[in-house]
Structure 1
């Protein structure tokens, strides 16, 4: 299913955080949101998975305003992996993943054979089938991320919404998680800080700055030295990755944008 964010405005605590954002997450593609801290990425995603209500504009799922859907029905279509993730689940890995079946169950209804098969497949897809009996709290950060992604898979959504899914993960776990996302072949809307990861995994990117989408397109179209200087305030060259051919951003970690190379930077 396709997500269309249409002239979205979001404000809270008396401050406008997203102002007139327009973007599309096409069916079956991974669509990335990138931008500096405070640009509105997380706020926009929270509106997509209905944690926040827009002050104006709307989010459409296959042409239907999400606010017209009952919560349980919306949860069958959209699964979220937010930044704020509970780490105190006193549950087993399998029990956490089985929570993804909640939108399909009536109150106090138990698991059926279909639920058990779906949970087993989600655990296998996330590479956590052999950890099903472990306590969630005993897992490493990378393992927890995989379990929470498996919970989202068990929800069988049409759309995955992920907010900084690689945050705090080491390089290996970042690569593994992004590979899982790629292999899922679902419509995905994902916010990423790592621009090189975004260039590698995303089909399209939307760049946010001060709550507004300022650029949209493929990673190669969007991640130009001029945009990186203007939006992120960094000097960078964009080259081809020697292993994958994806755009690879080489940052100048010595000189801010606008300064002459070799100039002394004073604190």
Structure 2
């Protein structure tokens, strides 16, 4: 589902956090948000899944303003994994993932066969098949992250909004998650601190700096040494990955810009 962010401005506590941001994620496109801490990435994503109301501009799903949708409609179209993961849930892994089916269930109606099938598949996709009865509160940070991803997948959304989804994941599960997102080809808005992961995963990158959009385009065009120095304050060379051919950023850890 095509997602358009039009002239988005967000003001929090009297400070303009985002200013006139415009970007588009096409049908099935993985659009990455990158930028230093405090650049407005999380704020932008929160407006997409309606956690924040913009002071100007709008978010459109297939041409329709998300603010005109009911919460249930929004939940059927958009699944979000925010950075704020919540506290310890006194639920099993399966119960947490099954919460993703709520937008499709009538009030007081129980699960049906379709719900059970979707939940099982979501757990399989994140590598947690067989862990259904484990306590969510007893899981490691990485395991919790995968449970919440499974919950998002169980919503069967047309748009995924993921804020730093690789946090807490070990290298293997980071690689598996990125491969899974690439294979699913759902319209995805994702923020990532790891620029090499962003270059490998994303069809287009949108660079935020001090609340403004300063660059957009394919990773190979956006991730230049000049931009990395200007926006991130680092010296770097952009090479070709020997295994994948993706852009590979080699940072100069001895002489920062």
SS in 1 for 2:37: coil
The answer for the alignment partner of 1:142 in structure 2 is 142
List aligned pairs for 1:71-220, cutoff 5 A. 71-220=71-220
Give the whole-Å Cα distance in 2 for the aligned partners of 1:118 and 1:189: 22
The answer for the alignment partner of 2:51 in structure 1 is 51
Give the whole-Å Cα distance in 2 for the aligned partners of 1:252 and 1:148: 35
How far 1:114 moved relative to its partner?
1.4
**Which stretches in structure 1 are left out of the alignment for 5+ residues?**
258-267
TM-score, structure 2 length as denominator? 0.97
Question: Are the equivalent residues in 1 in contact too, given 2:3–2:62 (CA < 8 A)?
Answer: yes
**107-116 or 91-100: which moved more?**
107-116
TM-score, structure 1 length as denominator? 0.94
The answer for the alignment partner of 1:36 in structure 2 is 36
Segments of 4+ moved more than 3 angstroms: none
SS in 2 for 1:107: coil
How far 1:198 moved relative to its partner?
0.3
How far 1:111 moved relative to its partner?
0.8
Q: Alignment length, in residue pairs?
A: 257
Give the whole-Å Cα distance in 2 for the aligned partners of 1:152 and 1:185: 15
Question: Are the equivalent residues in 1 in contact too, given 2:93–2:134 (CA < 8 A)?
Answer: yes
How far 1:220 moved relative to its partner?
0.3
SS in 1 for 2:255: strand
Give the whole-Å Cα distance in 2 for the aligned partners of 1:173 and 1:127: 9
**121-130 or 32-41: which moved more?**
121-130
- Deviation sequence 1:131-181 (CA, Å, 0-9, x none): 111111222222211111111111010000000111232222221222222
Give the whole-Å Cα distance in 1 for the aligned partners of 2:173 and 2:220: 25
How far 1:48 moved relative to its partner?
0.4
The answer for the alignment partner of 1:263 in structure 2 is none
How far 1:249 moved relative to its partner?
0.3
Give the whole-Å Cα distance in 2 for the aligned partners of 1:145 and 1:188: 17
The answer for the alignment partner of 1:20 in structure 2 is 20
Question: Are the equivalent residues in 1 in contact too, given 2:142–2:167 (CA < 8 A)?
Answer: no
SS in 2 for 1:253: coil
- Deviation sequence 1:64-85 (CA, Å, 0-9, x none): 0000111100110000000000
SS in 2 for 1:180: helix
Aligned residues: CA RMSD: 1.0
**130-139 or 56-65: which moved more?**
130-139
Give the whole-Å Cα distance in 2 for the aligned partners of 1:180 and 1:89: 26
Give the whole-Å Cα distance in 2 for the aligned partners of 1:140 and 1:29: 31
Give the whole-Å Cα distance in 2 for the aligned partners of 1:13 and 1:47: 16
How far 1:2 moved relative to its partner?
0.9
SS in 2 for 1:255: coil
In terms of Rg, which structure is larger? 1
